[in-house]
Amino acid sequence: MKQNKYGFWHKVRKNRALLLMLTPAVLFFLVFAYVPMAGIVLAFKQYNYSGGIFHSPWNGLDNFRFFFGSGDAWRVTRNTALYNIAFIIINNVLQIFAGILLFEVAGKWFRKITQTILFLPYFISWVVVGAIAYNLFNFDVGTLNVLLKGLGMQPIDIYNTASYWPFILIVVSAWKALGYGTIMYLAAITSIDTEMYEAAQIDGANIFQRIMKITVPNLIPTVIILVLLAIGNIFRGDFGMFYNMVGNNGLLFSNTDVIDTFVFRSLTTSNEIGMSAAAGFYQSLLGFATIMFANYAVRKYDKDRALF
């Protein structure tokens, strides 16, 4: 009966406790990650409520044609990628800069308090950020216009002017992410071998040379991992941020609409299930391709640094 003592079922029995412990997680990701992947077929169907996912008729590439033909595809892809590239560059440079300074300043209390304050925005929800933006930018009562009027200048109508928004969103992103990244880099700097600094000091290197020649190069592995992770998400807009800052304000869409807000709107307000599924699928494919490419590039440069 039992031909192979080390057969599959034998192994299952041997590991049954561990397998049982994995079961909830396996089921969870099956239902909430793998089953939706199968739902991608919707992108190729003309969805209707009576037919549902299985019985709605196929319509080939019509959903994609509709999405790309509308001109929305290019606009939202461009916005998503450009915003994320700007966030990656500006946020990382700022965080490294702040991390190095935080490491170098002497005052213990000053460091503690600064770190605590910089980290604060990370803890609040995007809804609260939206409320803060309202406080700052509201046309009639907003703090910014109060200040402008105080200086004898004309108030500006931020919520009706698309051109301000790239700048605002970049600042908001930097504000929210500053503390998290700074602490991440501070941790990496703290783990640098202090002997290197001592040796450099004996050799007569000044403190700026030390930072540029020792601290910064030693941070590169951390930068690569963080940037690699961020690049994998370059076609994924931060929905919470865009939605709470901009909302459904169509006047700003030319400069603020990203793939995620577009898909959300197509799904919930215009109810275009097939087309939004197609846009979502397009986004997933782009994301998958970029992470594979980024990982491949890092692998070529230095095998140990790659994600997988």
Partner 1 sequence: MSSTTVNGDMKKVRKHADIDKITLSIIGYVTLTILAIFCIVPFLLVISASLSDESSIIEKGFQIIPSTFSTEAYRLLFEFPGEMLRAYGVTISVTLIGTIIGLFLTAMTAYVLSRRDFEWRNRFSFYFFFTTLFSGGLVPSYLLIINFLQLKDTLLVLILPMLMNVFYIIVMKSFMSSIPDAITESAKIDGAGDFRIFMQLIIPLSKPALATIGLFIALAYWNDWYNALLYISKSELMPLQYYLYKMLGNMDGMRKAMMSSGAVVNSDLPTESLKMAMTIVATGPILLAYPFIQKYFVQGLTIGAVKG
**Residue placing its CB nearer to partner 1 in the complex, 31 or 220:** 31
Kindly state the smallest distance separating residue 141's Cβ from partner 1, in Å: 4
Kindly state the smallest distance separating residue 202's Cβ from partner 1, in Å: 11
**Residue placing its CB nearer to partner 1 in the complex, 1 or 152:** 152
**Residue placing its CB nearer to partner 1 in the complex, 137 or 165:** 137
Q: Find, among 176, 175, 187, 174, the residue nearest to 102 by Cα.
A: 187
Kindly state the smallest distance separating residue 90's Cβ from partner 1, in Å: 13
Kindly state the smallest distance separating residue 162's Cβ from partner 1, in Å: 20
Q: Are 254 and 274 in contact (CB under 8 A)?
A: no
**Residue placing its CB nearer to partner 1 in the complex, 1 or 54:** 54
Kindly state the smallest distance separating residue 129's Cβ from partner 1, in Å: 8
**Residue placing its CB nearer to partner 1 in the complex, 85 or 187:** 187
